[in-house]
Structure 1
Amino acid sequence: MRETRTSRERAASRLSRLAAVLALGVSALLSSSGPAHAADPQPVDIPDYQAALDAVKSTAVRHSVCRFLSVPLPEAGSEGPQTIPEKADPCDGIPAFTLKDPLAVSEITPGFVAGTSPPVATEAVKLSHLVSSLSVAVGNRQATVMLAPTQGGGWHLSGVREGDSDAAFAGKAGPGSLVFAEPQIRGWYLLKVLTVEPLNDQARQGLDGRSSVSLSDYQKLVKTRYADKLPGSEYDIKGMSSGYSATAEGPSSPAPLLVGGSCAALLLAGSDFLVRRRRRGTTG
């Protein structure tokens, strides 16, 4: 009897250790192996992280933010372009500000949407871009810098957006979880291993009001929404859409697009700086 109990205890101990190892493995899959801070974990591995840090601290990015903040938000119903004030120093008259360390923003992948990739974290989402918000509001305004990956390595400015909601959502990720976006509906979600939870109203609507769904069920939802609108589809070829992966920011564009709110865009075009209003679709 004593030997039987000892054998059972050893078996239970081995099972307990195995469960702990598996749990750690899943957590490691969703957690960062890259740069992190003890009080502010960065759960997604960011390649060339130092280059991203250098970018948000660069003079060029700082000047772009200053230009953005130099133009007041367009009033409701206003039309036509607004010219950015011409100043030798774009930051002249702008209160001092700093940008927070960049955070990763992941998005659902075309393969996941098409149903050709399995419903697992490593196949469902991928790193899309980085966001860095102001550490403090400037003139009662917040702004978020968006960085896109540069071909060959590194990061470059792709736009500046009014507000800091993107960075706020991206910062909700933690050990064992990651945040991703469904940009077509501006939905933000938290992925915990194989469970998807909504972080905003758009995401809740995207889950048909449910508080959580399995990653497999979420795949079925986005497949229904977008599978027939992927690049190369009839929907795309006929020009009814710019393709599933296209967004208004256009991270591959050679000139940064600075977005102010949901329907005003600040475009950098050579030496001419204009603010133009534009409508954003929600179907990608």
Structure 2
Amino acid sequence: MARPVRAVLLLTAVLLTSVAFPPAADARRDEVPRLDAARLSAAVRAAHTPAAASIARTNLEQGGPPAPGALEVAETGTPAYTIDPDFVRGLPGAPVGRLAYVAVVVTAADGRKATLQVTPQGADDWTVEAALSGEDEHRLAETLAPGAVLLSEPQINGWYALEPGKVTLLRASLPQNPVGESLPLAGYQRQLANRYGDRLPGGPADRKGEIGFDQDRPEQGVVPGAVWPSAGLLLLCVVAVILVVRRRGRAKPHREPGARKCSGSGLHRG
């Protein structure tokens, strides 16, 4: 086989491997799409609107307590993540969690507290859709180690500290592991697949109309399955190059008067 052809085939193998199996895929598995400071500030500002205050008052007045009076809205927020269905599926490189909302605490004049759930609407907008009693997210976030994020498993009302390579259960109504125990991400993924594999979008529970995972999906760049059309296009291009190289190698040299001399493996040497 001619040297140019061998070189092209080797390049093809390297490129296809890099496209189909990105080397950093597994390294991203412990990450979540973290908020930058600007987006976090925008989420907190959305909690300071009259509409957000109305939602907080409605929550604080549930059950017949007195009107909350003046409200104090916190100037900080806690990003709360929830498990990503692609991580449950075991897709390579899938993040463990995706942002669910930013939790902002509201305090009534008598000390009662509620938490506004500020959810993203596209890339830049935020809206307050609900309020929960108490300040659970804020209190749990205070226990996190530097660099860890708060991850929820709503099906068991569970909260975890997500750190590189592991999760640690902080609290759960139906704990699957002892509270305070850390679990490697590979083991956690296997647990999730066993618990919820049939409840993912498109699965048996979804087809029956039963409650499963949230259908809404944020934009997350390249879809894992979209890598193969790119690989196919790359392969076609490389095959075309091989055919050209072979055709030139088999062609007999024909020199026109005054033509430039060209050296190459496909020409007879004089």
TM-score by length of 2: 0.60
Larger radius of gyration: 2
* Paired residues of 1:105 and 1:181 also in contact (CA < 8 A): yes
Of all paired residues, the percent bearing the same amino acid is 25
| Cα RMSD, aligned residues only | 3.2
Q: How does 1:25-104 map to 2 (within 5 A)?
A: 34-35=36-37, 48-72=39-63, 94-100=68-74, 101-104=76-79
Aligned pair 1:125/2:100, yes or no? no
Shift of residue 176, structure 1, vs aligned partner: 2.6
Aligned counterpart in structure 2 of residue 151 of structure 1, from 105, 117, 122: 122
Aligned counterpart in structure 1 of residue 195 of structure 2, from 200, 207, 225: 225
- Change in Cα spacing, 1:33 to 1:48, as seen in structure 2 (3 Å) is closer
What one-letter code is carried by the residue in structure 2 that aligns with 1:110?
A: P
Shift of residue 137, structure 1, vs aligned partner: 5.2
- Change in Cα spacing, 1:183 to 1:117, as seen in structure 2 (3 Å) is farther
* Paired residues of 1:56 and 1:102 also in contact (CA < 8 A): no
CA deviation vs aligned residue, 1:103-149 (integer Å, no higher than 9, x gap): 1001111010111234xxx7111212111112x45545321100111
TM-score by length of 1: 0.57
Match in the other structure for 1:113: 88
Match in the other structure for 2:206: 236
**Secondary structure in 2 matching 1:123:** coil
Gaps of 5+ in 1: 1-24, 36-46, 75-91, 253-284
* Paired residues of 2:56 and 2:131 also in contact (CA < 8 A): yes
CA deviation vs aligned residue, 1:170-198 (integer Å, no higher than 9, x gap): 44334232221111111111122112111
Which protein is richer in helix relative to its size? 2
Worse-superposed segment, 148-157 or 93-102: 93-102
**Secondary structure in 2 matching 1:159:** strand
Distance 1:193 1:163 in 2: 29
